[in-house]
Structure 1
Amino acid sequence: MRLISSLLAAAIMATILLVRTPALLQDPDSWWHIRVGLDMLATRVFPTIDSYSHSFAGQPWIAKEWLSQALLALAYKGAGWNGVVLAIVAAISLTVFLLAWQFGEALKPSIALALALSLALLSAFVFTARPHVFTLPIIVVWTACLFRSAGAGRPPGFGLLVLLWLWANLHASFTLGFVIAAFAGLEILIRYRLAQPRLLAQWCIFGALCPLVSLINPYGLKAILATFTVAGANEAVPLITEWRPFNASATPLNEAALLLMLLGLLVSGLRIGLARALFVLFALHLYLAHERFVYVFFLLVPVVLAVQVAEQFPALSIRTWMTEQRDGLERFLLGHYRLAFGVSVALVMGTGVVLTRGPAIEPSQKTSAKDALAFAAQRGLSGPVLNSYEFGGTLIFHGVKTFIDGRTDQLFLNGFTQADDATGRSAGKPLLQTQLRKYGVDWALLSAGDNRIPFFEELPGWTRAYSDRYAVIYTRSR
């Protein structure tokens, strides 16, 4: 029943994602991640300097998420954007399967299924075609296994370090794994203090190996150091939607879920221990500070607390369920488990078939600027471009060097991103003119809502050459 419920959860998630495919391709960074992956596959070279922008060309830059970028590129080469969506759906569905499986070890199957699906849908904000999605299955297993070992008073499974190595090559968030391991180790320290020196030493050795294993990547220490450029007061962070603080008015369902979870912790009398309580606060802080960490709270906190809930509320536990009579649905699924497996597999495979052989999927022109770029190619527009941030990815994908793009974790710093933002403010016209002269800009590709459009309409020597509902192109008179 645990396996059936986990498969059903994954199959239902895959079906939901099939309906939501446009949302999976809404992020402009998907474009440049694929281009970087395609270039690495073609050249067999890991980049060390920027070759995709004209404003920071030659500056140090590393593809620290190279493995995810290669996976996205392979998916794109195999089936275009349909292949990319299929890869993302597979990663998310696997995450939901693993969530339901982990919950099913302690909680009733029906609760495990419903909880896994609900929490995944609450985290849907981050379900886009970007590298971090490939790490979601890893982070669920990493967190569940470490806290399970800590709760049982066992040493950590050193085989988990293989997952950390994969994580370090897939996405820069791997340093979060160090923090999770530290919270689990803290539980051991609080519970046993120095009474179990061998056990404590094993956890300390595991913690020391974490950063060492993470060094096994094409860039070594640079990959770890690059993660701190975001955490260390990166000027672009306040300007990027996903890095902004939690906005309750924009996500009322998430606010309701957040309040219900906190209410449950406050009134249920659930005893979770200091280390797990600190982890809950840590996850809550990350989510409230940066919306992109929604998955840390909604996926990982329930994983950490599931065993305590089952132990202190037996009515919800798998042990109680084992002694109960099966309800009608459960009797049907267990009596027709081959059918249940077949339906689950059919749903998953059907999703794959629809994505690979169905109508071609393309990202919205909100990020692709497809028609505008076709016009630019037809007119032979070349030379340095000034672009809206959301068009940086598609420009890189199509071989046009950008003014700014989504790689602000390493580039476009030292006041550059702040200055770019200031050019769209009420007094930004003189600064815009300065930027145009400084970088020798010959044409501009702006989103239809870019605040700099009124300035370009007034700038001498600049002409609107193209416009549609998504993009505007301006050219400089020669």
Structure 2
Amino acid sequence: MSTAAANTVPWEDARRVRLMLCLFVTLITAVMLTALARQTLQDPDSWWHVRVGLDFLANRTFPTVDTYSYTFAGHPWIAKEWLGQVLMALAYRAGGWNGVVALIIASLSLTVFLMAWFFSDWLKPTLAIGLAFVVAVLISPIYTARPHIFTLPIIVVWTAWLFRAAREEQAPSLWLFPLLVLWANLHATFTLAYIIAAFAGLDFLTRTGVSKPGLLVKWIAFGLLCPVVSLLHPYGLQAILATLTVAYGNEAVPLITEWRPFNAQEHVLQEVALLMFLFGLLVSRLQVGWVKALFIIFTMHMFLTHMRFIYLFFLLVPVVLAVEVGQQYPSLSSATWMAEKRDRVEQFFARRFYPICGVIAVVLIAAVTVLGNAYQVEPRQDTSAKDALAFAESHHLSGNVLNSYNFGGTLIFHGIKTYIDGRTDQLFLSGFTKSDDDMGTSAGKPLLEAQLKKYAISWALLSAKDDRIPFFNDLGWKRAYSDEYAVIYVPGV
């Protein structure tokens, strides 16, 4: 055997090392997310998503009107993210909030693994896993127990496979259609799939022009079929229309934190990463082509316009640019790494791949079991109002409650009809949400007084920092309960 042949590393060993590194960064991500498990329950909407899922499991019916509030009871409302809500409900049934958190962590960890795997198609695995970990940190503001988390692995696969098909001048895989159906039933962001497919199709067109008309027809057919396939949803066209309504904005959008524009003062890390990316792109002379440049601009626009879409930029731009970096900078490419001789550490992991994977699996199962029994997570009281609701129950408070926005989810979960809650994509419109926001202004007392009479409010559950608290005092209401998270008011005697 020649010296060159002796130094050639078997492809299988390199693949195993690459897989081990991807699993390693996934494990690190899972451990860190577990340490910060309670943070994933910071969103008040987690409560009502679980309740909707539980109600579906109990009734096996898809809601068409609102039954969770008294202010908009009977108004059209659909659970367009029903499958994500059912998954959360099943996890809750299995393990309470620990089960919900475990499911969210599993989805996020899978996302990190997929990022590392796709990045390492073109970049050195060490660089790929480092990049995947950085991206995981940058998109952490959206790590909440809500159905959108389940779509993150899907959007990574969808984007990677479509741009790969365009690059290799092939037709899109038909296996992407079941993925789209799953996405459509998990979360309302599935219409983004159409836009991503359009960019990938443009990338294919710039490579081939009209020299391959048969393939071009297949790409066009794929794009046209995407909306048709996503109609495989209990609500059909209603789900698409509801999504588009929010995408174009409604009166509540400017008032909801996650829909507000990116604020650099609140997200310094993301601003630094964005500026570093732009600096690197300008000085590196990386050739990305006009289609991918337009894709970068689109994802950046979505991120800067609505903070909730931060992941579109940080998650997808590396997916589409990894191939360009690998091809134009060979020293960073996976091909260069594959040609190198494995060191002793890499050989150790490659040759003991299966035993190591088995040990990792056993350790993870044992750790999850111990953690589940020893450490119980639950939402914080600034969204749960746990003690305040216990007081309300013990003192038999009943009737219509005027609640702060962040307590809407927990009220739904506990079977108490809300004044307002997080379903402002479809409800609490026609000036209602704006009026609720205006009640906290200096001129809000007359508005509050009018709403108390209009809806025959019997008690109020407010966050401790609610701006309407002084007005309740002025109107003669009695503070029946208070803690550092919540205040309860009842009419004065």
Q: What's the TM-score once normalised by structure 1's chain length?
A: 0.97
Specify the alignment match of 2:34 in structure 1.
18
Quote the residue 1:4 is aligned against: 20
Q: CA deviation at 1:349?
A: 2.8
Report how far residue 266 of structure 1 moved: 1.1
Shift of 1:389: 0.4
Q: Find the partner of 1:398 among 414, 423, 432.
A: 414
Would the aligned equivalents of 1:52 and 1:396 in 2 still touch at CA under 8 Å? yes
Partner of 2:484: 469
* In structure 1, distance between residues paired with 2:50 and 2:181: 22
Shift of 1:470: 0.2
2-side partners of 1:335 and 1:226: how far apart? 52
Query: Which residue pairs with 1:192 in the alignment?
Result: 208
Pick closer, same or farther for the CA change 1:347–1:366 going to 2, 3 Å.
farther
For residues 258-309 of structure 1, give each alpha carbon's deviation from its aligned partner in whole angstroms, at most 9, with x where no partner exists. 1111111111111111111111100000111111111111111000111111
Residue 218 of structure 1 is aligned with which of 234, 248, 251? 234
Change (3 A) 1:67 1:196: same
Within 5 Å, give how 1:267-306 maps onto structure 2.
267-306=283-322
**Structure 1 residue aligned with 2:470:** 454
Return the match for 2:66 from 33, 50, 56.
50
Shift of 1:399: 0.3
Which residue is equivalent to 1:156?
172
| 187-196 or 288-297: bigger deviation | 187-196
Q: Which moved more, 1:359-368 or 1:37-46?
A: 359-368
Q: Is residue 2:429 matched to residue 1:413?
A: yes
**Corresponding position of 2:373:** 357
CA contact 1:393–1:405 (8 Å) conserved in 2: yes
Distance 1:348 1:265, change over 3 A: farther
2:147 to 128, 131, 134: 131
Counterpart position of 2:114: 98
Please give the alpha-carbon distance, in whole angstroms, between the structure 2 residues aligned to 1:370 and 1:329. Answer: 51
Match of 1:235 among 251, 273, 281: 251
Amino acid paired to 2:269: L
User: Per-residue displacement from partner, 1:16-55 (whole Å, max 9, x unpaired)?
Assistant: 0010011110000000000000000000011000000000
Alignment of structure 1 residues 368-447 onto 2, 5 Å: 368-447=384-463
Q: Aligned partners of 1:62, 1:348: CA distance in 2, in Å? A: 38
| Distance in 2 of aligned mates of 1:190 and 1:351 | 50
**One-letter identity of the residue aligned with 1:229:** T
Q: CA deviation at 1:244?
A: 1.1
Residue pair 1:55, 1:403 contacting (<8 A) in 2 also:
yes
Distance 2:465 2:331 in 1: 54
Q: How many residues align?
A: 477
> In structure 2, what is the Cα distance between the partners aligned to 1:237 and 1:352?
38
2 CA distance for matches of 1:279 and 1:344?
A: 38
SS at match of 1:442: strand
What does residue 12 of structure 2 align with? none
Change in 2 beyond 3 A, CA 1:347/1:200:
farther
Inter-partner Cα distance in structure 1 for 2:409 and 2:184? 23
Query: 2 CA distance for matches of 1:459 and 1:470?
Result: 22
1:266 equivalent in structure 2:
282
How much does 1:192 deviate? Answer: 2.1
- 1:231 shift after superposition: 1.7
**What is the 5 A alignment of 1:292-331?**
292-327=308-343, 329-331=345-347
Letter in 2 for 1:286: M
Counterparts of 1:169-180 in structure 2, within 5 Å, are 169-180=185-196
One-letter amino acid of the counterpart of residue 478, structure 2: T
Q: Tell me the alpha carbon deviations over residues 391-428 of structure 1, each in whole angstroms, 9 at most, x when there is no partner.
A: 00000000000000000000001111000000001111
Counterpart in 1 of 2:49? Answer: 33
Matched residues in 1 for 2:465 and 2:279: separation? 41
Amino acid across the alignment from 1:95: T
Q: Which moved more, 1:324-333 or 1:21-30?
A: 324-333
Aligned to 2:317, the other structure's residue is in SS state helix
Q: Which residue of 1 aligns with 2:6?
A: none
Shift of 1:190: 2.2
Give the superposition deviation at 1:368.
0.3
Q: Determine the C-alpha separation between the residues in 1 that align with 2:345 and 2:264.
A: 37
Q: Label 1:11 to 1:347 Cα distance change in 2 as closer, same or farther (>3 A).
A: farther
Asked whether 1:143 is paired with 2:151, we answer: no
The answer for the alignment partner of 1:208 in structure 2 is 224
Aligned to 1:76: 92
Query: 3-state SS of the aligned residue for 1:254?
Result: helix
Instruction: Work out whether residues 5 and 113 of structure 1, in 8 Å CA contact, stay in contact via their aligned partners in 2.
Output: yes
| Distance of 1:329 and 1:238 partners within structure 2 | 53
**In structure 1, how many angstroms separate the alpha carbons of the residues matched to 2:405 and 2:360?**
41
Which ranges of structure 1 fall in alignment gaps of 5 or more residues? Answer: none
Equivalence for 2:9? none
Kindly provide the amino acid, as one letter, of the partner of residue 59 in structure 1.
Answer: H
Structure 1 CA distance, aligned partners of 2:239 and 2:192? 14
The one-letter code sitting in structure 2 at the alignment partner of 1:196 is: K
Q: CA deviation at 1:332?
A: 4.0
Specify whether residues 292 and 348 from structure 1 end up closer, same or farther in structure 2 by C-alpha distance, changes over 3 A only. farther
Give, in whole Å, the separation in 1 of the partners of 2:36 and 2:233: 34
- What is the identity percentage for the equivalent residue pairs of Structure 1 and Structure 2? 60
Shift of 1:11: 0.8
Which segment is superposed worse, 231-240 or 261-270? 231-240
User: Aligned with 2:457: secondary structure?
Assistant: coil
